[in-house]
Amino acid sequence: MYLSERERRFLEETANKIRKKIVDIVEDAGSGHIAGPMGMADVFTALYFHILNFDPKNPGWEDRDRLVLSNGHIAPVQYAAMAYAGYFPVKDLKTFRKLHSRFQGHPHREMLPGIETSSGPLGEGLAQAAGMALTARLDGEKYRIYCVMSDGEQQEGSVWEAAMFIGKNKLSNVTAIIDRNSIQTDGYTENVMPLEPLHEKYEAFNWHVLDIDGHNLEQMVDAANEAKAVAYQPTLIIAHTIPGKGVSFMEGNYKWHSRSPNREEERKALAELRTLQGRIRSEDD
């Protein structure tokens, strides 16, 4: 285990702050995705507050780790994590999805320093990560490339072309993370287009594959460290998450994939998250 008790508590509190901010900005925008961002708050907290090597004051730093967000619709969780990590003031997030905002519904790399790729169409991020990883190897650079994907986009053929390329070239500087929340716009993934056995499929493409509880911060940090120790294979972390995590009436419901809460739903959601925050803090007493 790579986390001290103090670190774990800090990360749990930060993840909860990120969830509250997601609810706030999506409701204020009146549109956007919320279930996926809520479900990935723990993973993004681990990335931005423990795993990634970066400098928010110098987002173009050459030696930084690159984070490619393939499933760009979960942008609220990345924006919130970046804000709390110091890239920009948290108050700026109130412009999310507003006209001319830097915080578009899907990330736009030319509008927001710290965003590595523009994303929207699913299935492209892993190929982008492959190019970055091969470039790093050819240039003798030591930075790592992290690629976050949805499980639904594993239904795209382009993902498997990239997975095959990365596995064939043994690009061990790639760590991919799949948000295995089992939902997509039209329903549950195993009803729309079954993905299992997902673990074995990536292993067949010469990947080192780890299954974790995506809400267990120790497991996420341990998996990322294990990936760094694997010398001749890329690593895939399948993070099993609950969409809408932290808000009882959203959890596990695919209908929250791409809708925003109204004002009353926001009030109820924030009340639940405040209760959770109090529970986390009481553990320190």
Residue 121: which H helix or E strand, with range? none
Per-residue model confidence as pLDDT tens digits over 41-88: 999 999 999 999 999 999 999 999 999 999 999 999 999 999 999 999
- Say what the pTM is: 0.96
Per-residue model confidence as pLDDT tens digits over 120-138: 889 999 999 999 999 999 9
Sequence-distant (≥ 6) Cβ neighbours of residue 118 within 8 angstroms: 72, 106, 107, 108, 109, 110
**Could you tell me the two tokens for 105?**
């519904």
- Per-residue pLDDT, 151: 97
Alpha carbon distance 48, 35 (integer Å)? 20
Q: How confident is the model at residue 101 (pLDDT cuts 50, 70, 90)?
A: very high
Write down all domains in the chain, each with its CATH number in brackets.
Answer: 5-282 (3.40.50.970)
Residue 70: which H helix or E strand, with range? none
Residue of higher predicted confidence among 71 and 186: 71
- Per-residue pLDDT, 279: 79
The predicted model gives 9-37 an average pLDDT of: 97
Sequence-distant (≥ 6) Cβ neighbours of residue 99 within 8 angstroms: none
- Terminal CA-to-CA distance of the chain, rounded, Å? 23
Comparing CA positions, the residue from 26, 32, 105 lying closest to residue 263 is 26
